[in-house]
Amino acid sequence: MTNPLDCQLLLLGVKESFSKDFLNPSHSKRKASSVSLFDQCVLTDQAMKALCPAQHARFTIEGVPSPQAFKTPSTGLNSLALLLVNTTQSLEQERALEWRKYLAQERAFAYEVIYGHGLEMLNRIRFAWSAALQTWQFQVSPDLLRPLASPRYSAYCDKCSDPLCEGRLFGLPLFG
């Protein structure tokens, strides 16, 4: 039986297989080693510990390079699977298609696709993981969340029947 505070981050399509097991970083003195996800994209010790939930939770991060090495996570475990696609290498597109076919047809497993390379990819992994932690009712520091975009449209009230207000709302030419 799994603890509801057990969390697992699966990084699919990475360069090499790895598995790291953490407890809350404030209680864990053990050093982790950096992991190369792709060429020019390294997940450092500090970044791995920053992904760990703030509460007293067990956190596991796994990298799986091929569908043949993939094992479905235990049921009841808070798990997020991210299919990583390195945009700097064309071979990665073929590997991503192989993963998609495997996950959709053979496993019927939910996953998210993360595109990018280097720091851009690491930030996208952090944003997806932080959103998942919020969904699972963990407290997440605001600096780990994706910054919200500013609104593109500033509308006026659409509750009245004033023609000038409606003209501003819908951008209609004002009549005199």
Amino acid identity, position 114: I
What digits encode the pLDDT tens for the residues 66-78? 888 888 776 667 8
Residue 28 binned pLDDT confidence (cut-offs 50, 70, 90): very low
Which class for 118: exposed (0-12), middle (13-18), buried (19 or more C-beta within 10 A)?
Answer: middle
Amino acid identity, position 163: P
Asked whether residue 174 is assigned to any structural domain, the reply reads no
Asked whether residue 34 is assigned to any structural domain, the reply reads yes
Tally of domains within the chain: 1
What digits encode the pLDDT tens for the residues 86-145? 877 766 777 888 888 888 887 667 789 998 888 888 889 989 988 888 888 888 777 777
Measured in residues, the chain has a length of 176
Residue 11 binned pLDDT confidence (cut-offs 50, 70, 90): very high
Asked whether residue 166 is assigned to any structural domain, the reply reads no
Q: Is the pLDDT of residue 153 over 60?
A: no
Task: Note down the domain range covering 113.
Answer: 6-144
Q: Which residue has the tokens 């569908």?
A: 67
Asked whether residue 159 is assigned to any structural domain, the reply reads no
Q: Is the pLDDT of residue 152 over 80?
A: no
pTM exceeds cut of 0.75: no
Asked whether residue 169 is assigned to any structural domain, the reply reads no
Query: So what's the pLDDT on residue 27?
Result: 41
